[in-house]
Amino acid sequence: MSTNQSPSGRPETLSGNRDEQLRQAMSRTGLDALWVSRPENVRYLSGFTSGDDAKLLVVAAGDQTGATLYTDARYTVQAGEESRFPAFIARSPATLEHAASSVQGLRVGFEADHLTVSELETLRAHWQAGGTPATLVSTQGVVEGLRLVKTEEEVAQIRAAQTIADAAFAAVRPGIMAGVREDSVAGQLEAFMRERGAGSAFDITVASGPRGAMPHGTASARVIGNDELVTIDFGAKVNGYHSDMTRTVAVGNPSEELRRLYRAVLEAEEAAVQAIRPGAKCSDLDKLARDILVSHGLGEYFAHSLGHGVGLAIHEGPGLRGTSKDVLEAGMVVTAEPGVYLPGVGGVRIEDLILVTPTGHEVLSSSPKEHL
């Protein structure tokens, strides 16, 4: 085990806007320290890009304030290059033994949604056994709350990802026709994005014909037929930041029933996008889109929420759903993606990626929508 020295020019201790916001969030939650185990949160706070194999201990009170990245020897060089904080290179339980001295007597938060029961038991065994035990506090959303509003740099990454996704769609759309396999379409989109330095944000949905009734219809070997709708949901990933967009396209001349579904979803989607602005309640936005689909007799087929925030995770806050308490703020990046799914018939989803601006919104996705 070893400790990386922080390269000169990079702060070893908590400083700067993001760190100050974290300090305030921890203080509001009554925490002296936070054990960060969600990969995206480790990355967000430290800059280390392999958060799956790392933890971060942030100490904001007591005489040892600062942060330490814990990762193993596979990442010694990478941690030195990427992390804003010094890295302690070891594996558990040596990492926990090292951290134990920093957390004595402190109230230490752990991320309840990103720690297994056995990991919690291990924390207890190492930090609560000695003479000055730490108090372990279950937390939710401490760092996620900071990630809701994006910085200009984060928006630039998401924008870059969406630009690549739009270019991919433009390149691949002419080849979406009867006789082509769904997984061929997905493969072409992915290859295009990789060629431009981006990853695929998630398993690409290409759902044709009756498979359109599956909201997460990952591309299959099915051959696209004539007079079908095809739903394509995909995104690019640039420096950890995602984009997300769905288009439903017509191959040949789909039936009037399918066209009616399409027009209803388009109406709901456009209305929701237009209503996106700072101060808008996410639950109201969901209701706006849902009410339109209800008015077309399609409410029961809208099987999910209107949308979600997008950033280092493909699904993050704010949640655009009926039960959400979230209110939009400038700097949030969200999706609006109503859809209807009729088993045995097919489905339609249309999704844009939207930046909330101080005066309203900017639609980041620019791929054209069909008018059926």
Residue 229 burial (C-beta neighbours within 10 Å; 0-12, 13-18, 19+)? buried
Between 139 and 246, name the residue whose CB sits nearer to ligand LM6UYM6L: 246
Which position among 337, 350, 356, 365 is part of the footprint of ligand LM6UYM6L (CB under 6 A)?
A: 337
Site string for ligand LM6UYM6L, 312-331 (x = CB under 6 A): --x-----------------
Site string for ligand LM6UYM6L, 248-287 (x = CB under 6 A): ----------------------------------------
Q: Are 304 and 347 in contact (CB under 8 A)?
A: no
The pair of structure tokens assigned to 189 is: 């989109």
Q: List binders of ligand LM6UYM6L among 146-205 (CB under 6 A).
A: 202
Between 10 and 216, name the residue whose CB sits nearer to ligand LM6UYM6L: 216
Which position among 32, 166, 228, 244 is part of the footprint of ligand LM6UYM6L (CB under 6 A)?
A: 244
Please, how many CA atoms are within 13 Å of residue 114, restricted to the half-sphere of its CB? 23
Q: Are 123 and 111 in contact (CB under 8 A)?
A: no
Q: Are 232 and 215 in contact (CB under 8 A)?
A: no
Which position among 144, 182, 351, 352 is part of the footprint of ligand LM6UYM6L (CB under 6 A)?
A: 351
| Cα→Cα distances 341→101, 235, 261, 338, 371, Å | 55, 21, 9, 10, 19
Between 111 and 351, name the residue whose CB sits nearer to ligand LM6UYM6L: 351
| Cα→Cα distances 299→255, 281, 313, Å | 21, 20, 28
Cα 121 to chain centroid distance, Å, stands at 29
Report, in Å, the least distance between residue 80 CB and ligand LM6UYM6L.
Answer: 33
Q: How many CB atoms lie within 10 A of CB 372?
A: 18
Question: Should residue 304 be labelled a site residue for ligand LM6UYM6L when binding is judged by CB under 6 A?
Answer: yes
Report, in Å, the least distance between residue 315 CB and ligand LM6UYM6L.
Answer: 6
Which position among 39, 51, 66, 215 is part of the footprint of ligand LM6UYM6L (CB under 6 A)?
A: 215
Residue 279 burial (C-beta neighbours within 10 Å; 0-12, 13-18, 19+)? exposed
Residues that bind ligand LM6UYM6L (CB under 6 A): 202, 215, 233, 244, 246, 304, 308, 314, 337, 351
